[in-house]
Amino acid sequence: MLLTSQPSLVEQAYEAILGEIADGTLAPDTHLIQEVLAARYGVSRQPIQQALLLLKSDGLVQDAGRRGLVVAPLDLQMMRDRYQVRAALDALAARLAAQRCAASPEVAAQTKRQGERIVEAGFEAVAAGAIKAMIAHDVAFHAFIYGASGNPMIGPAAEVHWRFLRRVMGEVLRRSEPPPSIWQQHREILDAIVAGDPEDAEARILSHIHTAAGRLSADMARRANDETEGNARPGNKRRAGRVELGRTGPARRELPRRG
């Protein structure tokens, strides 16, 4: 399958690199070599260069002196800050979506049908242990609520934060068993929206986000502490974190199309 102009090659390159950062293929401190990435995705250097600049502006990659660009380490405070903004946007979206359902039985029925498909897919991803699918369906569920709100400004405002949070979710899901309660919470949020109860929908989505943020924050802090203690043990020399995306890396593959 050949790449097309819609979405652009830059967008496809951005999504491909972000996806591999999120799923751990490109670990923190991995050196990102434009020529290698271009060969890997079957494109020229130009879209890779532009995609890396966008990833840098989003805080997902950073300068490393003469090494060029590397995958940025996770930032605990940034994660907390982004969850605060996301909580406000999701709460507004859930409230507005519930109001629309209360005003129209047809909207409520359509919202229920569409939402249940995403929720079922999320439960299936958890049962299969498919990390990429878990992240994708989680993002899809919240994007669905943004759309159901009827306010076209909410989705774009939340998207920039989801780029970072996808990476955080991937880090945690690779290191701990995902609680099935996440998707039970999603189902309860959907039920409150469909029932046309703005207060309950808002309260449930805020509880869901605060619980998720707390769990992710605790996991990140615990791992950082474990690494610090491990490096401080006598006779344990700290290993350099440098990882190279070498020229003998993964085989070339086509860039994924954006959903």
> Average pLDDT, stretch 53-61?
92
Is the predicted pLDDT of residue 258 greater than 50, yes or no?
no
> Of 134, 132, 133, 25, nearest to 71 (Cα)?
25
Is the predicted pLDDT of residue 131 greater than 70, yes or no?
yes
- CATH class of the 76-231 domain in this structure: mainly alpha
Mean pLDDT over all residues of the chain?
84
Identify the residue with better confidence: 94 or 223: 94
CATH code for residues 9-73+237-244: 1.10.10.10
Is the predicted pLDDT of residue 76 greater than 90, yes or no?
no
Is the predicted pLDDT of residue 246 greater than 80, yes or no?
no
Between CA 163 and CA 167 the distance in angstroms is 7
**Phi, psi (deg, nearest 5) at residue 244:** -105, 135
Is the predicted pLDDT of residue 259 greater than 50, yes or no?
no
> Average pLDDT, stretch 224-248?
53
Q: Do you find a cis peptide bond into 7, omega within 30 degrees of 0? A: yes
Is the predicted pLDDT of residue 156 greater than 80, yes or no?
yes
> Of 175, 258, 217, 243, nearest to 36 (Cα)?
243
Between CA 107 and CA 135 the distance in angstroms is 27
Q: Which residue has the tokens 């919240």?
A: 142
> Average pLDDT, stretch 148-169?
91
pLDDT of residue 250: 43
Query: What's the pLDDT tens digit per position in 31-47?
Result: 999 999 999 999 999 99
Map out the domains of the chain as residue ranges.
Answer: 9-73+237-244, 76-231
Structure tokens at 223: 């791992």
Query: What's the pLDDT tens digit per position in 220-232?
Result: 777 667 666 665 6
Residues paired with residue 244 on neighbouring β-strands, in sequence order: 31
SS3 of 248, please?
A: coil
Q: How confident is the model at residue 151 (pLDDT cuts 50, 70, 90)?
A: very high
pLDDT of residue 175: 67
Alpha helices in 129-240 (DSSP H): 131-148, 154-175, 181-194, 198-232
Between CA 101 and CA 192 the distance in angstroms is 10
Is the predicted pLDDT of residue 77 greater than 70, yes or no?
yes
Report yes or no: 29 and 73 within 8 Å, Cβ to Cβ.
yes
Of the ranges 75-79, 162-166, 212-216, 217-221, which one carries the lowest mean pLDDT score? 217-221
pTM: 0.77
Rounded to 5 degrees, what angle do the CA atoms 16, 20, 25 make? 145
Of the ranges 33-42, 60-69, 124-133, 246-255, which one carries the lowest mean pLDDT score? 246-255
Q: How confident is the model at residue 8 (pLDDT cuts 50, 70, 90)?
A: confident
